[in-house]
Amino acid sequence: METHPKYEISGRIELSDLSTRACTRLYSDPEYVPPTPAEVDGLIKLMGWSQSDVAKLTGVSYDPKKGSTTVRKWRTPVGSSEHRDIPYAAWRLLLLYAGIVQIGSVLAGNLE
């Protein structure tokens, strides 16, 4: 069984709050800001996903018993030597799976 490490989050993130943050905008939007580790962690926790679940959804490696080192690094605080930024494509996939963003408006040519 996968164990879930505990991470410090400054302030509780709600799913409805996440949809209004700059990290949910399109990459081409000048107001887009990459998600913080707390935002990545908050989304994962809100959705009830394990590290292995997130790894499967984003196509990164994982061990069914230990989880994913890659996902753990996305959730690690920025000052840590273990921290890695989540790639935009992986973050966008998680937002799509969570239902926070929709793909239709982008395909229709509406990039707002």
Q: How far apart are the first and last CA of the chain?
A: 42
Residue 112 has pLDDT above 60, yes or no: no
Q: Look up the pTM and report it.
A: 0.80
User: At 107, is the pLDDT very low, low, confident or very high (cuts 50, 70, 90)?
Assistant: low
Q: Give the model confidence (pLDDT) of 21-68 as tens digits.
A: 999 999 999 999 999 999 999 999 999 999 999 999 999 999 999 999
State pLDDT tens for residues 10-25. Answer: 456 667 778 889 999 9
The CATH code that applies to domain 15-100 is 1.10.260
Q: Which two tokens stand for residue 9?
A: 């989050």
User: Is pLDDT at 108 greater than 70 in this prediction?
Assistant: no
Q: What is the pLDDT of residues 64-106, one digit of tens each?
A: 999 999 999 999 999 999 999 999 999 999 999 999 998 865 5
What is the CB neighbour count within 10 angstroms for residue 55? 22
Domain ranges of the chain: 15-100
- CB count within 10 Å of CB 60 equals 18
For the cut 60, the answer to whether the pLDDT of residue 3 exceeds it is no
